[in-house]
Amino acid sequence: MSSDPDCIFCKIVAGKIPAKKVYEDAELLAFHDIHPWAPVHILLIPKQHVATLYDAGPEHEALFGRMLGLAPRLMRELGVLDGFRTVVNTGRNGGQEVFHVHMHVMGGPRPWAKG
């Protein structure tokens, strides 16, 4: 599985940096964002290092499909039953700060800090 030793999310996958995990399987990991914008704000990532959505190829389609499928399940499990937002920032002008693909999944009562 591809991994980048300098990538902060690869370090979380490897257990080198702690994170509040909410879900894990062979391909995917979900954990709470360290600076939440919403009452519930998790990041859903592939365990393999894919820097941005620009770098995703046809071989990743099932993986990204699984991420989208998992989002509502995790929100339900976290008690978010009244709607949530999914955001994938891509590239510098897309507001991406961590270059390991991640889906923000945010929910809970408003107002939120951002968005």
Kindly state whether residue 52 participates in binding ligand 5GP, applying the rule CB under 6 A. Answer: no
CB 115 within 8 A of CB 37: yes
Q: Please identify, among the stretches 8-16, 58-66, 67-75, 84-92, the one whose residues bind Zn ion according to the rule CB under 5 A.
A: 8-16
- Choosing from 19, 40, 74, 105, the residue that interacts with ligand 5GP (CB under 6 A) is 19
Kindly state whether residue 113 participates in binding ligand 5GP, applying the rule CB under 6 A. Answer: no
Pick the closest to residue 52 from 103, 99, 1 (CA basis): 99
Q: Is 100 a catalytic residue?
A: no
CB 100 within 8 A of CB 4: yes
User: 7 touches which of ligand 5GP, Zn ion, none (CB within 5 to 8 A by kind)?
Assistant: Zn ion
Chain-centre distance for alpha carbon 65: 13
User: Which residues are catalytic, by number?
Assistant: 102
